[in-house]
């Protein structure tokens, strides 16, 4: 019986949806064609977001209101942000202001 409980726990963890064990999840945002994909990331405090630049030009992921800034992301570079506060933050690329994305960060204990 103990084995079955462990297996179920592992499945919940891999789905990133266990209220009892809010393991951090890594969300990947791909930058390609001067677009952030996905444009909206819904995450939780403690999660990480990784931006990967697959374009042939540099970009940034820069949150509004002095929240976060990847700095220059060269082609093939990536940058990781650990989410420490809840809230919704819109971000842009400072070089291409039409590039927009949004982070929605809920509390760590609110993982459904």
Residues that bind Cu ion (CB under 5 A): 59, 93, 95-96
Give backbone dihedrals phi and psi of 99, rounded to 5 degrees, phi first: -80, 120
Helix (H) or strand (E) run with residue 8 in it: helix 2-15
Q: Of 28 and 94, which CB lies nearer to Cu ion in the complex structure?
A: 94
**Least CB distance to Cu ion at residue 52 (A):** 13
Q: What are the percentages of helix, strand and coil residues in the chain, rounded to 5?
A: 15, 40, 45
Q: Of 45 and 60, which CB lies nearer to Cu ion in the complex structure?
A: 60
Q: Of 86 and 95, which CB lies nearer to Cu ion in the complex structure?
A: 95
How far is the C-alpha of 8 from the C-alpha of 72, rounded, in Å? 42
**Least CB distance to Cu ion at residue 9 (A):** 41
**Least CB distance to Cu ion at residue 78 (A):** 15
């Amino acid at each position: 019986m103990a084995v079955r409980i462990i297996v179920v726990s592992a499945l919940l963890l891999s789905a990133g949806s266990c209220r009892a064990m809010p393991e951090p999840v890594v969300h990947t945002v791909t930058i390609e064609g001067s677009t952030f994909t996905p444009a909206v990331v819904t995450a939780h405090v403690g999660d990480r977001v990784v931006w990967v630049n697959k374009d042939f030009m540099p970009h940034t992921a820069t949150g509004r209101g002095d929240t976060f800034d990847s700095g220059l992301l060269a082609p093939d570079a990536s940058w990781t942000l650990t989410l420490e506060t809840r809230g919704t933050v819109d971000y842009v690329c400072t070089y291409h202001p039409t590039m927009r994305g949004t982070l929605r960060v809920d509390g760590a204990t609110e993982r459904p």
